[in-house]
Amino acid sequence: MKNILIILCFITGLNTAFANEGWLNILNEGGNNKGIKCTQAIQNAIEKASKNGGGTIFFPAGEYLTGALTLRSNITIHLDSGALLKFSENFDDFLPYVEMRYEGIVMKSFQPLFYAKDVENITITGRGVIDGQGKVWWNEVYRIETAKEPLPPTKYQTMWEEQNKGLYTEPYYKRTVDKKFFRPSFFQAYNCKNILIEGVTFQNSPFWTINPEFCDNVTVTGISIFNPHSPNTDGINPSSCTNVHISNCHISVGDDCITIKSGRDGDGRRYGKATENVTITNCTMLSGHGGVVIGSEMSGGIKKITISNCVFDGTDRGIRIKSARGRGGVVEDIRVDNIVMKNIKEEAIVLSLFYDKGTQVEPVTEKTPIFRNIHMSNITASNVNKAGQILGITEMPIQNITFSNINMDGKEGFTVNTATDVEFHDVKVNAIVGSSFKISDSKNIILDNVGSSTAIKGVPVIKLDNVSNALINNNFPFNPTDIFIEADGKDTKNIFLKNNVLNNVTTKIKKGASLDKKAITE
């Protein structure tokens, strides 16, 4: 028995030794938890663990201050409950400039607060808080943007210009490039794989918060992000990434909560790396320009995305898919399901190819953006400003869109313009201003069991203008309705009404002056 106990103690000692070898308490590695800057101690601990094949850098409770950190393969940053890791307010602590991506453009600029390049198996986890102290970065942008006269360049602007000679962007982006000051993301992994971010809280990001670029197998789960009203402080922005899983997150930020991207214009097309195989589920979004957004930097393409079981309360928009002429790229195979929205300041749903460019029609080229195969279902929205908007471009209408089992209460209804193969099934939009469904310059439309319980006198529930090939069926307005359909436009044709019960309607069809007499078949 004595020999067995000795053997067990020996094995236990070995296990403890091996465990301790891969577990580095930062307080034992030269760091301190009194708020005194310890960048070098933290980086040295990362390098030490890396030389041993990897390990965990452990931050016990307390306050830590650091500059930019470079992560290596097989490294875990673990913040215990009560640990606060703050990043420096001194821009010099984010030098030298590194290769990074800013708003879809690859360049050299400030090192992201957490930066990783060409590595694998990196983790940030725990129950602690990480503070980017972004206000100094926001203030510098504000100082540059609001100057009434040209300012002498700072050393950072001079460095940026020297290290980015030959960088080309489209003319419309000149205003941004001319700042020569590009804030770092909070976390940017560049060309990495196997990333896990779990449990921690991020706050006060200088720029985008979680921003993997050109990465594979990214998991972000159970984190909270809090950024105040501040410029470009998006929450989670995977760009040109594959196999991304975002779940159980709580986000309240100064810009979009979650945004899927893949590069901007020619630079994005040059890399040609799509973001694909993305799941977003079980998240709550409060303040933010958009709940879940796709684009506008989508020149590499975005496909095979699911968004489910999320709540948006107080965001400017809910689901937003945006691009513009010149971007190029294809957004396709998108599924949105089981979403609840409330207090949406603008549109609950937006699909728009008019994000930030003009209206002039262009030839179809690699610069032409494409939206297709997008399907949304089981959505409830209340107190929204506008139910939804689909806005295509003449040379490339938005294609193959379906909405099913949707209930919305708000000021305005759905607007569809320049789209093809759009279907509404079991969609109720209780608008108090204008038509619930306003469709123009579109074709191949199905309106199946749609309606409104807030019919407005003199305003049609459905308004068609230059619409061809439409089926309006299985509709039964329960409440007294003044006008059910209004149709106009010389190109309106092949409109079929079938299986509708319109006993509660005063005027079933109001025909405009330019409508062909044979355009509608009952």
- Reported as a single tens digit per residue, the pLDDT across 472-510 is 999 999 999 999 999 999 999 999 999 999 999 999 999
* Average pLDDT for 205-209: 99
Question: 45 near 56, Cβ under 8 Å?
Answer: no
Q: 288-340, pLDDT tens digit by residue?
A: 999 999 999 999 999 999 999 999 999 999 999 999 999 999 999 999 999 99
Could you tell me if residue 463 is left (phi over 0), alpha (psi between -120 and 50 degrees) or otherwise beta? beta
- pLDDT bracket for residue 15 (50, 70, 90): very low
- pLDDT bracket for residue 14 (50, 70, 90): very low
Question: 59 near 85, Cβ under 8 Å?
Answer: yes
Q: How high is the pLDDT of residue 374? A: 99
Q: How high is the pLDDT of residue 175? A: 83
Whether residue 160 is predicted with pLDDT greater than 50 in this model: the reply is yes
- Consecutive H or E run containing 414: strand 398-417
* Average pLDDT of the chain, as a whole number: 95
> Which string of DSSP letters, residue by residue, matches 417-438?
ESEEEEEEEEEEEEESSS-SEE
May I ask the CATH class of domain 21-255?
Answer: mainly beta
Q: How high is the pLDDT of residue 358? A: 67
441: Cβ contacts below 8 Å, ≥ 6 apart = 417, 418, 465, 466, 467, 491
CB neighbourhood size of 273 (10 A): 20
- What pairs with residue 261 in β-bridges? 239
Compute the chain's Rg from CA coordinates: 27
Query: What is the residue extent of each domain of the chain?
Result: 21-255, 265-319+337-433, 457-522
Whether residue 10 is predicted with pLDDT greater than 60 in this model: the reply is no
84: Cβ contacts below 8 Å, ≥ 6 apart = 62, 63, 64, 128, 129, 130, 131
Tell me the C-alpha distance between 232 and 238, whole Å: 15
Place of tokens 């009194």: 34
Q: How high is the pLDDT of residue 20? A: 61
Q: How many CA atoms lie within 13 A of 457 on its CB side?
A: 0
- pLDDT bracket for residue 7 (50, 70, 90): very low
63: Cβ contacts below 8 Å, ≥ 6 apart = 33, 34, 35, 84, 86
Tell me the C-alpha distance between 122 and 219, whole Å: 11
Tell me the C-alpha distance between 437 and 5, whole Å: 78
Q: How high is the pLDDT of residue 174? A: 86
Handedness of CA 262, 418, 416, 346 (dihedral sign): positive
* Average pLDDT for 224-243: 98
- pLDDT bracket for residue 16 (50, 70, 90): very low
- pLDDT bracket for residue 119 (50, 70, 90): very high
Q: Is the model more confident about 522 or about 60?
A: 60
Q: How high is the pLDDT of residue 357? A: 64
Q: 413-456, pLDDT tens digit by residue?
A: 999 999 999 999 999 999 999 999 999 999 999 999 999 999 89
Whether residue 8 is predicted with pLDDT greater than 60 in this model: the reply is no
- What pairs with residue 442 in β-bridges? 467
Global confidence as pTM: 0.94
* Average pLDDT for 212-240: 98
Q: 99-117, pLDDT tens digit by residue?
A: 999 999 999 999 999 999 9
Place of tokens 């079981």: 309
Q: 368-393, pLDDT tens digit by residue?
A: 999 999 999 999 999 999 999 999 99
Q: How high is the pLDDT of residue 2? A: 52
Q: How high is the pLDDT of residue 235? A: 99
Tell me the C-alpha distance between 207 and 92, whole Å: 17
Q: Is the model more confident about 4 or about 399?
A: 399
Known catalytic residues are 255, 289
Task: Give percent of the chain above pLDDT 90.
Answer: 92
